[in-house]
Every structure is written in structure tokens, then in C-alpha cells.
Amino acid sequence: MIEWVTVISLILFGLALVVAEIIFIPGTTVVGIVGFIFLIAGIAFGFKYFGSETGWVLVGVTAVISGLVFYFSFKTNVWGRFSLKSSIDSKVNEGNLNSLVVGLEGKTTSSLRPVGKAQLGDKEYEVKTVGDYLDSGSAIRIVKINSNQIIVEPIN
């Protein structure tokens, strides 16, 4: 009896890992390879414990069950509720830099380590320090403006 539990557990766990590889973490391949190894180990133990005839039946049953699991996983979208459905289309400081000039002073509204938020003029922007970490409330000055990046330095 324990032999059947071992074989079925290895096959089901292997199948679960292969499904997880395909649906949840595609591209990683480690989980899929480990799952495939568990599937092969379960079938190999089936041959070892029960002989050739039962082993081949086990191969066929495993193939059919695997096919059904993959078919219903994709067809019924059973995993859809676990997947991410939204995406971020915006960019940092996009189109908001027209009113900023080099030398403009402001105050940090969060810690800059080295990136954080700062109040420059009447708006809040994401800024980056020259290299020093700054605490919230520190006085800063713009030293460079790249396309969507504002580089600041502390004012002593």
C-alpha cells in the first residue's frame, strides 16, 4: 500500500510543479525540471514496485491525466484569478519638468537613498541625489535635469 502512496504522491507533486512552472513562474525552468524529475521518479518507482505491465499502464494514465490537467488549466482559465491583470503605463516625472530650472531650491518630502520625493515649487517630484543620502525635510538644489530625471544636491 505504501508503494502506491509513494508513486502517486511523486507523480501528483511533479505534475503540480510542472503546472506551476508553466502558469505561475514561466521562464524559471528550475521548478519545471524538478517537477519533471518527480514525474519520472514516480513512474520509475512504479516500474520497480509493480513490474513492467503496471508500469506502462502508469505511464499511460500519467500522460492522460497530465494532458487533461493542462487542457483544463488553459481552457477554463482556472488560474486567471491568480494572475496580474493591470499594468503601469506612466513614467516618472513625465511631462512635468517644464517649470523646473537648474538652481531651483526645494525641500525633500521623503528620505533620498539616493532616490526619493521632493517639493520643488508647488509640485512634488521624484528626485535623485548626487550621492549623499538625505533625510526628509532637507534643503536641496537642482544641479542637473535629464530627460525625466532630476538630480539634486544638499544645500549646506
Q: Could you tell me if residue 87 is inside a domain?
A: no
State whether 16 and 72 are in the same domain. Answer: yes
Rounded (10°) angle between helices 52-75 and 2-23: 30
State whether 39 and 76 are in the same domain. Answer: yes
Residue pLDDT, tens place only, 114-155? 999 999 988 889 999 987 799 999 999 999 998 788 999 999
State whether 25 and 63 are in the same domain. Answer: yes
Band (95; pLDDT cuts 50, 70, 90): low
> Any idea what the CATH number is for the domain that residue 111 is in?
2.40.50.140
- For residue 29, the model assigns a pLDDT of 82
> Residue 76: which domain range?
2-82
Alpha-carbon distance values, 41 to 13, 76, 82, 120 (Å): 11, 30, 29, 63
State whether 138 and 67 are in the same domain. Answer: no
State whether 66 and 115 are in the same domain. Answer: no
Beta bridge partners of 134: 112
Question: Looking at the predicted structure, is the pLDDT value of residue 81 above 80?
Answer: no
State whether 16 and 53 are in the same domain. Answer: yes
State whether 17 and 57 are in the same domain. Answer: yes
In the chain, how many domains are there? 2
Q: d(Cα 14, Cα 57) in Å, to the nearest integer?
A: 18
- How are beta strands 105-108 and 115-120 bridged, if at all? antiparallel
Could you tell me the pTM of the whole model? 0.50
Q: Could you tell me if residue 94 is inside a domain?
A: no
Q: Domain boundary at 48, 82, 116, which?
A: 82
Q: Could you tell me if residue 34 is inside a domain?
A: yes
